A and B are shown apart, each in its own frame.
Chain A
Amino acid sequence: MSALARPATAPAPPRRRSSGIRRGEGLAGWLFTLPVIILLGVFLLVPVLMALWVSFSDWNGNGSPLSPSVDFVGLRNYADLTTGNGLAERNFGLSLRNNLWYVLLVVPLQTVLSLLLAVLVSRRLLRGRGFFRTAYYFPSVTSSVAITVLWLFLFSNSGAVNAILGRLGANGPDWFNEPTGLWAVIAGWFGMTQPAAWLNQGGFLEVTPWEWLQGPSIAMFAYVLMAVFTTSGTFMLIFMAAIQNIDPALDEAGMIDGASGWERFRQITLPQLRPALFTVLTLGLIGCWQVFDQIYTGTQGAPGKTTLTPAYLSYQASFGSQQWGDGAAIAFILFVIIVAFTLFQRWVLRDRPVSRRRIRAYQPKAPQGGAAS
C-alpha cells in the first residue's frame, strides 16, 4: 500500500526562471502542496527516520527511542544480522531465501497471467466482458486475511485441493505443514533424495547451499498460488487501461501488412505496454518483498521456518523478542533490496535506441506513418 503513496512525495517543481507575471507561482505551489507534505512528513517520513535511528541504536522498547538513555551503536545491529554467526543471522538468511523464491515465482506468474487476462477481456468479441472483469478483479478487493483463511481451508490436509488431487489419483501433500522445498520434491521424483555432501557445508548467511537451492517449501508455494490469485486482478486493470490507450489503427495497419495475431501482439501491442509493464513489475516486486499479512494470519513462519519472510521476521524480532534494533535493521536491509531490484528492473526495461541491424530492415521501405509514431 505504501508503494502507491510513493509518487506523491516529489512535490510539483516550481518553474525555474521566475519572471514578471509568474513570480508568485512557486510560493503558491508550495502552499497548495503543504497539507500533503505535512501529512506525509508526520505519518511517513518522520516514522521512517525514527526507525532508521532505531536500527542504529540499542533501544530496547521501553520508553521513547529518542530519550537520552538510548545509545548509538553504529552498525552493530546490521552486523548481528549479516556476520553474527548466530540465530539472528540464520533466521535472516532463511527469510531472504524464502522471500527470494517467492518473488522469483510470483512476479513473473502474476505479470503473465494478468497480461493474458487483460488481453482476453479487452477483446471486443468476448461476450459478457463486464462479468469477467468483475470476476477476475474480485479476489483483489477481498481482504487478504479472508483469502488467507480461505486458503488454509482449501489447502488443508483434507481440504478441497487435496480432494480434487485425490480424484485425479494423486496423493496431495499436507500443504501448509510441508517444509520440503519444491525443487527438492521434484528432484525426489527422479530418485535424487540425498544432496551432495558439499551442498550441506558452509553457505551464505548461515544457510547452506542446499537450503538456498531447494526452492520454496510446499507451504510457501501455496502462498505463491495465493498471491498470483489475489493480485492478478489489480494488475489486469492496469494492463487493460494501457491496452485501451493503444490506437486501434495501429493494429489495423498491422493486419493490412499481413501480420498474424501473435505478431501483432508481440510487435505492436507489447512494446506499447512497456510503461504499464514497468508499473506492474515494480508494484509486484515491492508487494512481494513486503509480504506480511498472509504470514501473520497463516503460518507465522512454520513449517520449519520456510514461510518466514523479512517483513514478518522484523515484526517478530521487534514485538516478540524485544530486539527492536535488529527488527528495524531488517526493515532497512529490505528497503535496500527493494530499491536495488527496482533499479535493476528499470535498467532492463530502459528505452534502448533501435540497433543498427534492426533499423536497416526498415530503411529500404517507404516510411509508414503508423510505425513511426
Chain B
Amino acid sequence: MTRHTARGLVAVGALAAVAALTLAGCGSGFSSGSPSSSSGTGLTSSKKPLTIMIGSSGDAETTAVKDAVAGWSKKSGVSASVVVATDLQQQLSQGFAASAPPDLFYLSSDIMAGFADNGSLKAYGDLLKNKADFYPSLVKNFTYKNRFYCAPKDFSTLQLVIDTDLWKKAGLTDADIPTTWDQLAADAKKLTSGKTKGLVFNGEYARLGVFMAQAGGRLVSADGTRAEADSSQNAAALDYVKKQLAAGTFAYAKDVGAGWGGEAFGKQTAAMTIEGNWITGAMSADFPKVKYKVVELPAGPAGKGTLQFTTCWGMAAKSPNQKAALDLVEYLTSADQQLAFSKAFGPMPSVQSAAAQWKSDNAALTPFLAGAAYAQGVPTNAGASDVVNDFNSQLATLKSSDPATILTSVQKNLETVVKK
C-alpha cells in the first residue's frame, strides 16, 4: 500500500512540475506582451482605454468620480472606465502580480512605499504641469527616495471639535477655547461630568500623534531616514495624555463604548474630540441635533501641530497609456474639479489655488485647512504601517503602561524599517 502511494505521489509530482513549467511560460508571455516600463521621464502612449480603480466612501463619491472621468473622456477622446474596489489594496496587489494593474488608482501614503519598492508605480510627479500648486507638505508625503511619485488627490487634517451646548453648560465661553495643553486639560476637567468625558479620541497613533507633533516630536525624521520615536518630546506627549487618561478627563472612544471619536461625540459621551473634516458628514447623517464647532488644536511646548492624511492618484508602471493617464490626473486635480469633488463628498482640495474658494464655501471648517500650514505626515517608509499597528496595540493600554517603554520598542521596530 505505501509503495503504491509513493509511486502515485511521484507521478502527481511529475505532472505538477510539467504544469508549473507551462505556467512559467505563460508568466513570461504576459510580461513580454505589455509595454516595457520606461525609465526617466518617458511615458508610454497608446490608444488603449484607461481603467481607474477607486476605493469609494459611498455613492456620492462614486458618482462624482465617474462624472468627472466621463467629462474628461469626452474632452480628450480617450475612453476610460471607473472600477470601485471592495478591497483596494488587495485588488491592486492582484493586478500588479498579474501584470494587469489599473492605469490609475487611489493610493494612500502609508502603503505607497511598498508598491514603490517593488517597481509597481510610475513616479510621474515631476511631470505634472500643476506641480507647484500642491501644498508642499503633501508633495513631501508622496516623495519617496527623492522621487515625487504621485499627485495628491485631496487631504485632511485633525483639529479639535467642540460640542457648543455642553461647552455653554459647563460655563465656558469663547475666551476659554484652549490654546495650550494646560488650558485643554482644565477645559476637559470642567466638561467632564457623569457619563460625559471632556475629550474623547481613538486610542491610536493617528490621534495621539497630534500631541507628539505639538511637543515637537515625530516617529520618523522629516526626510524619512532616521527613527526618532524615543525622543523626550514624544515621551512628554504620551506622559501628558496618560496623566489626563488617569484623571478621567480624557478617554479613548472604546472606553466610552464608541467605535470612534465621532460616535462618542455624537452621543454626547464626549464634549470634545479630535477628528478630521469627515466628522461633518457623520454628524449631519447620524446626529443632526448636536451643535458643534471646529477650532484649531492647542499649541504644545513646541507650538501648533497636527497630523495630515492624504491619498494620491497612483499610476501603474505597466500602464500602456501613461500619457493619457497623466492628462487625466491633471484634469482631476485642477482647482475647479477638486472644488466640485469637495461639494459632492467633502474632501479638502490638495491645491493652494482652490483654498480661497473652499474657505468661503466652508467657513466653519477653515481650521482644518489652516492645519495644512503646520501638519505633519504619517511615516511612509515601507513596513512603517506594521510598526504603527504595533504602536497602536501598545497605546491601547497606555493608561497602565510606561510611555518610555512603549517608545523604546517602537524605536527598535522603526530602526529596521528606515534602514530598508
Chain A positions within 8 Å of B, measured between CB atoms, are 9-11, 13-14, 16, 37-38, 40-42, 45-46, 49-50, 60-68, 86-87, 90-91, 157-158, 174, 177, 179, 301-305, 318-323
Question: B99: CB under 8 A from chain A?
Answer: yes
Residues of the B chain whose Cβ atoms lie less than 8 Å from the Cβ of A38: 15
* Contact count A vs B, C-beta below 8 Å: 124
Minimum distance in angstroms from B285 CB to a CB of chain A: 20
Known: A45-B16, A322-B117. A66 touches B24 (CB 8 A): yes
- In the complex, residue of chain A having the shortest beta-carbon distance to the beta carbon of B395: A304
Minimum distance in angstroms from B328 CB to a CB of chain A: 23
Measured in the bound complex, the distance between the Cα atoms of B254 and A42 in whole Å is 47
Known: A46-B23, A64-B31. A87 touches B89 (CB 8 A): no
B416 and A63 contacting across the interface, CB-CB below 8 Å = no
3 residue pairs, one from A and one from B, having the closest CB atoms: A64-B27, A13-B4, A60-B118
A86 and B416 contacting across the interface, CB-CB below 8 Å = yes
Supplied contacts A13-B1, A45-B13, 6 more A-B pairs, CB within 8 Å: A62-B97, A62-B119, A63-B97, A64-B27, A87-B390, A157-B257
A61 and B120 contacting across the interface, CB-CB below 8 Å = yes
- In the complex, 14 of the A-B residue pairs with CB atoms within 8 angstroms, ordered by the A residue number, are A11-B12, A13-B7, A37-B12, A37-B15, A40-B12, A46-B23, A60-B117, A60-B118, A62-B97, A67-B27, A87-B413, A304-B397, A320-B385, A322-B382
Question: B20: CB under 8 A from chain A?
Answer: yes
Minimum distance in angstroms from A130 CB to a CB of chain B: 40
Residues of the A chain whose Cβ atoms lie less than 8 Å from the Cβ of B31: 63-64, 67
8 Å CB contact of B12 from A16, A45, A68, A177:
A45
| Tally of contact residues, B, Cβ under 8 A | 48
Minimum distance in angstroms from B156 CB to a CB of chain A: 22
Which residues of B in the span 371-411 have a Cβ within 8 Å of any Cβ on A? 382-383, 385-387, 389-390, 393-394, 396-397
Known: A63-B99, A179-B397. A87 touches B386 (CB 8 A): yes
8 Å CB contact of B93 from A50, A64, A174, A318:
A318
Known: A304-B396, A319-B90, A321-B383. A50 touches B4 (CB 8 A): no
Residues of the A chain whose Cβ atoms lie less than 8 Å from the Cβ of B15: 37-38, 41, 45
- In the complex, residue of chain A having the shortest beta-carbon distance to the beta carbon of B115: A322
Minimum distance in angstroms from B205 CB to a CB of chain A: 14
A174 and B254 contacting across the interface, CB-CB below 8 Å = yes
- In the complex, residue of chain A having the shortest beta-carbon distance to the beta carbon of B90: A319
Measured in the bound complex, the distance between the Cα atoms of B89 and A178 in whole Å is 28
8 Å CB contact of A62 from B118, B257, B394:
B118
8 Å CB contact of A179 from B11, B120, B396:
B396
Minimum distance in angstroms from B96 CB to a CB of chain A: 5
Minimum distance in angstroms from B245 CB to a CB of chain A: 16
Residues of the A chain whose Cβ atoms lie less than 8 Å from the Cβ of B27: 63-67
Minimum distance in angstroms from B175 CB to a CB of chain A: 37
